[in-house]
Amino acid sequence: MMPARDFDIERIRADFPILSLQVDGKPLIYLDNAASSQMPQPVIDRLVHYQTSEHANINRAVHHLSQTATSAYEAARGTLQRFINAREEREVIFTSGTTEGINLVMQGWGRKFIGAGDEIILTVLEHHSNIVPWQMLCAEKGALLRIVPIDDSGELRIDAFEELFSERTRLVALGHVSNALGSINPVKQMISFAHARGALVLIDGAQAAPHLTVDVQALDCDFYAFSGHKMCGPTGIGVLYGRAALLEAMQPFKGGGDMIRTVSFEATTYNEIPHKFEAGTPPIAAAIGLAAAVDYLSAIGMENIATHEHALLAHACKQLRELPGVRIIGTARHKAAVLSFALEGVHPHDVGTLLNLEGIAVRTGHHCAQPLMQRLGVAATSRASFAFYNTLSEVDALVDGVRGVQEVFA
């Protein structure tokens, strides 16, 4: 696939001050975007504007600044609603990130509706943040986890997924895109299968929202969680989408200010959604920054982003495949911009350390997916993950760097 014609990579790169950094005299080549992406100037400017002219606590005061901050915060919710095509603004809850979104569903829905003997389906591809909360719930309630396996390419075994269902299946919690392998899972098809069997579906969209068009109505998912810092926004902010009727039926996750309607020592009544789930002072600036990030991505176009990143991935895979001793881990037919690989006879940490000497930032380790590493029979991988601001020549530099690592260990 060729990059879209109106996709001006040099203009885009000029928006990201950090991309002109040098690391030990070498230009930074930032290929750790699946962990955290970088922030463009318009998002930085929006944060500065908020802090210098709009900041006050929201929801509580009649004064000018509080009203300005409240309007900006609620406008950010609207921007996020449109970005994922949620039906209503109140279906968008600001969280601290994907991890908190999943924990919110575990605490708010799981602790109320899951009982002994109920079953929750996960996949072997999951990030720890979509495993551990469900394990904690199962330990508390006596519920059971069922795990969808993968084939050797890193694709989910849909036949096995369908066989895991029983009359006790209550929830499927699965990633849209694998952070370790890049596999794009057929979530729409899986959601429709789960619904036909009466189970709800939570999608961990941490690695999808930065790279694909996400339409929660088209997917028909029940919950969808993602993080701002992986999509050019600030850290400490994310979104949990939930169907309004489900959110209304859930119990709050945290108690405190703003999430209540009335409080007495005898009883408390809760606020309406989304406020029921946003106790205390939220990360106001970060939410507004995330909306600016989403506006930035939308102006480039998610389709253009996906097309460019696909070209980077294809270019990288083609060249790495030609190098003897390099094994690409994760060869699913549909992949997002994640490239895990292993070099024969070289520990991934050495790969990361030597690439760093060339200014190239990749991630090495288990990628918070230890069960997946066990399934693959490796302790760790090296992972390059691309963003729309990466270039084909940066991919070439990665390949040269890998060649250099092989020479050191030859």
Ligand X SMILES: Cc1ncc(COP(=O)(O)O)c(C=O)c1O
Where do runs of H (alpha helix) occur along 25-165? 41-53, 64-84, 98-105, 111-113, 132-141, 158-163
Q: Does 312 bind ligand X (CB under 6 A)?
A: no
Q: Which two tokens stand for residue 330?
A: 């994760």
- Residue with Cβ nearer ligand X (83 or 270): 83
CA 11, 291, 180, 151 torsion-angle sign: negative
Which window, 96-104, 300-308, 324-332, 395-403, contacts ligand X (CB under 6 A)?
96-104
The length of the chain in residues reads 410
Tell me how far, at minimum, the Cβ of 304 lies from ligand X, in Å: 23
- Residue with Cβ nearer ligand X (12 or 239): 239
Binding to ligand X (CB under 6 A) within 107-166 occurs at 127, 129-130
Q: Does 234 bind ligand X (CB under 6 A)?
A: no
- Residue with Cβ nearer ligand X (91 or 126): 126
Binding to ligand X (CB under 6 A) within 185-214 occurs at 204, 206-207
Tell me how far, at minimum, the Cβ of 200 lies from ligand X, in Å: 18
Q: How far apart are CA 351 and CA 342, in angstroms?
A: 9
Question: Which residue type, as a one-letter code, is found at position 140?
Answer: E
Q: Does 98 bind ligand X (CB under 6 A)?
A: yes
Q: How far apart are CA 43 and CA 47, in angstroms?
A: 6
Taking alpha carbons only, the member of 230, 240, 234, 208 closest to residue 292 is: 234
How far is C-alpha 175 from the geometric centre of its chain's CA atoms?
9
Task: Catalytic residue, from 138, 232, 317, 368: name it.
Answer: 368
Taking alpha carbons only, the member of 389, 384, 390, 387 closest to residue 180 is: 384
By CB under 6 A, how many residues form the interface with ligand X? 12
Q: Which two tokens stand for residue 269?
A: 């009544």
Residue 140's CB is within 10 A of a number of other CB atoms, namely 12
Tell me how far, at minimum, the Cβ of 82 lies from ligand X, in Å: 22
Q: Does 227 bind ligand X (CB under 6 A)?
A: yes
- 221 in active site: no
- Residue with Cβ nearer ligand X (207 or 406): 207
Q: Does 179 bind ligand X (CB under 6 A)?
A: yes
List 38, 59, 70, 99, residue binding ligand X (CB under 6 A): 99
- Residue with Cβ nearer ligand X (37 or 179): 179
∠ CA 329-182-306, nearest 5°, is: 135
Tell me how far, at minimum, the Cβ of 385 lies from ligand X, in Å: 9
- Residue with Cβ nearer ligand X (33 or 70): 33
DSSP 3: P
Q: How far apart are CA 381 and CA 391, in angstroms?
A: 23
Q: Does 37 bind ligand X (CB under 6 A)?
A: no
Residues with catalytic annotation? Answer: 368
List residues binding ligand X (CB under 6 A): 97-99, 127, 129-130, 175, 179, 204, 206-207, 227
